[in-house]
Structure 1
């Protein structure tokens, strides 16, 4: 498994320490063979000695130490620099023995960190100084300048490689962070959707079930004495049950992302549905008045208003047996004011249940507020919503 931030990834998807080790072995062996052959076949010019076996061995050993250049770059740069000085002390022309120290210096800078840079620089400066002091050649300024330029190029190339690797690692880290953020956002969206669906089920089915229970109770009590009224109650139960099943089907269709109508499945009827809500409550024997002033509502605000009134009426018939219920919707500037007042006496504040919490959340999402609780003469639910 490729590690995040592996800055030594190879082309074609090959990564990891095994691949890098193979590259280093191939580099070291190839350089050892090539430099050994050149050292053996290229004749030495006076005042330098012919390399012979010793010279070839020193050159090959210097190149072979590059096998460990990634694992121990500081050690490799010190060893190759020391071998260069020893090679010069033996009277040989520097030739190809200078390349392993430069490669090691490049690796020190590419590895990053202050210590490898300092050790690499110090070792190579010492090697150049040893060459200038012990060489049998002229050691003129132009030769030393060439050596210094090569060393500088090795250091700059190593630093550029380190910077590129750091940029790649940072880019990958950002990509992973963005991916995690997208995953978290998706999880939050799913949680919000589940919460919304739970609220829709509570508001729609809770209201319907309460109406059905109350109507069934009335029908049972008056079945023998007032069969006509009982039949009306049973008709209301049937109608309410069918509507509840329809709303349940709408909620379930939202769970299927391939359904083109899913986005609009949970769209209640807004102001147009309030009259029907009132009729349901009247059917269980409660007096309900609805006062509506002309207001313009967006789809989301209309849905919230409908559900708030629905939950308020459900709570009214669930918690009180009598008393007039008044519903009013009036404009208030760029907002709409919704009041549901249940006339009743002796009410005491109760701990907020899911219904009240859901109403407050709907109002908040529409940029409004909701206040609910006992007041003089009954129980009041007062919501203010942004109209559009």
Structure 2
């Protein structure tokens, strides 16, 4: 996994400026407070200049850590060759090596830093005016391990932090996507409810108004009855609209209509008021709440389509439970029906059946045009 370098590496950070400033102050303070004694060279302009140059290299340690490590190592070797003690001038080299391991995991980049540091330490041991003892060699070894292992550990922590951040971001995006899918599904469900409930009511009202208008002169009583049905259907359509609006507020939901409401809905009377005949046969069924709702809407939409697309012919509705399934059939009697076009009503009925784990069919048959659906019964009833 490739981890980008920390932000702001194109220019020195405030922390780097403070680091460089501290090393510069330390170099000046050490040079003045503890001047080197023989065999090292004494205080002059060149010694503090090398320490200052070594510290200033760290300004670009985040931008080009390999080059800074090479530069700091060269200054350390030059410091030893010039005969100065490796006091403050050694620390920028170790800090640069630590940065090289901290900011990159590429082996050749780290190799450049290690090679430059090892060569610089070799030159320092070979050119230093005092022989290196075991204590000094162990200190050099410890500094090398701290710079390399500590730098790698710092990068590992950053890798883990980046992985955790990426995982949290991915989970947040997944939650947003899930919420968006739920919202789309809820909108689709609401659109189906509006189409099936209000569409049925409006179609019945249009049919009844048309029949009442045509027979108004010859049969005023029938027209009056049609107007009464229109008023009743309109009121119930408003109630249905109010119910759908309340569904949007979970604390104010009302029970959904189910299959038993077909009798209360007086479907047969309304179809007859529109000048059609309806045979309604509903048996005892054991459906889940969602299945009962789906069955109710399928029957309602199928009857609405029959009224909308044909003017004659008896409409037969049958609902019965057979074993582990409830079978629904709405038959519009007649002949010469074409294959159905996939309108919103058929799509809604098919989706309702499939969402409940059932099957759906709509098309011409020998007796006319049939809408058939099969829904699974309640889980407890299957056991």
Q: TM-score, normalised by structure 2?
A: 0.91
Q: Distance in 2 between matches of 1:34 and 1:58?
A: 13
Distance (Å, rounded) in 2 between the aligned partners of 1:220 and 1:252: 33
Q: Distance in 1 between matches of 2:307 and 2:69?
A: 88
CA contact (8 A) 1:51 1:92 kept: no
For residues 53-68 of structure 1, the aligned pairs below 5 Å read: 53-68=45-60
Three-state SS of the structure 2 residue aligned to 1:329 is strand
Choose the corresponding residue for 1:353, options 343, 350, 353: 343
Q: Answer yes or no: is 1:78 the counterpart of 2:70.
A: yes
Residue of 258, 279, 297 corresponding to 1:269: 258
How far off is 1:6 after superposition? 8.0
What residue number does 1:160 align with? 153
Map 1:251-330 → 2, pairs under 5 A: 251-255=244-248, 257=249, 260-262=251-253, 264=254, 267-274=256-263, 276-330=266-320
The whole-number CA distance in structure 2 between the counterparts of 1:134 and 1:54 is 17
* CA distance in 2 between partners of 1:350 and 1:361 (Å): 16
User: Structure 1's 269 and 26: CA in aligned 2 closer, same or farther, altered over 3 A?
Assistant: same
The answer on whether the counterparts of 2:329 and 2:371 sit within 8 Å (CA) in structure 1 is: yes
Structure 2 Cα separation of the partners of residues 336 and 280 of structure 1: 25
Equivalent residues of 1:293, 1:331 under 8 A apart: yes
Query: In the alignment, what sits opposite 2:219?
Result: 226
In 2, are the aligned partners of 1:40 and 1:52 still within 8 Å (CA)?
A: no
Of stretches 65-74 and 34-43 in structure 1, the one that deviates more from structure 2 is: 34-43
Q: What is the Cα deviation at residue 100 of structure 1?
A: 0.4
Q: In the alignment, is the contact (CA less than 8 A) between 2:326 and 2:375 conserved in 1? A: yes
For 1:176, which of 163, 169, 178 is the aligned residue? 169
Aligned residue number for residue 39 of structure 1? 31
SS for the counterpart of 1:52 is coil
Please give the alpha-carbon distance, in whole angstroms, between the structure 2 residues aligned to 1:26 and 1:309.
79
Structure 1 residue 198, shift from structure 2 partner: 1.4
Is the contact made by 1:110 and 1:158 (CA closer than 8 Å) also made in structure 2? yes
Give the direction of change, closer, same or farther, for the CA distance of 1:19–1:88 in structure 2 (3 Å limit): closer
Aligned-CA RMSD value:
2.1
- Give 1:325 shift: 1.8
Q: Pick which of 28-37 and 171-180 moved more.
A: 171-180
Query: Deviations 1:183-240 (Å, cap 9, x if unpaired)?
Result: 2222222222221111111111211111111111221122222222111111000000
What aligned pairs does 1:21-32 form with structure 2 within 5 A after superposition?
A: 21-32=13-24
Q: Indicate if the aligned counterparts of 2:353 and 2:374 stay in contact, CA closer than 8 A.
A: yes
Kept in 2: contact 1:39–1:96 (CA 8 A)? no
Q: Do structure 1's residue 92 and structure 2's residue 84 form an aligned pair?
A: yes
| Residues 90-114 of structure 1: per-residue CA shift (max 9 Å, x gap) | 1222222111000000111111132
- Partners of 1:208 and 1:244 within 8 A in 2: yes
Q: Deviations over 1:357-379 (max 9, x none)?
A: 11000001101110110000111
State the SS of the aligned residue for 1:373. strand
1:113 paired residue among 105, 113, 118: 105
SS of residue matched to 1:384: strand
Q: Distance in 1 between matches of 2:12 and 2:53?
A: 20
C-alpha displacement of 1:62: 0.8
1:347 counterpart SS class: coil
Tell me the SS of whatever aligns to 2:281: strand
Tell me, yes or no, if the aligned pair for 2:23 and 2:88 is still in contact at 8 Å. Answer: no
* 2:369 paired with 1:379: yes
Contact 1:271–1:305 (8 Å) recurs in 2: no
Q: Which residue of 2 aligns with 1:12?
A: none
How many residues in Structure 1 have an aligned counterpart in Structure 2? 374
Task: Give the deviation of 1:80 after TM superposition.
Answer: 0.9
Matches within 5 A, 1:169-208: 169-208=162-201
Distance 2:316 2:283 in 1: 14
Q: Is the 8 A contact 2:73 2:93 kept in 1?
A: yes
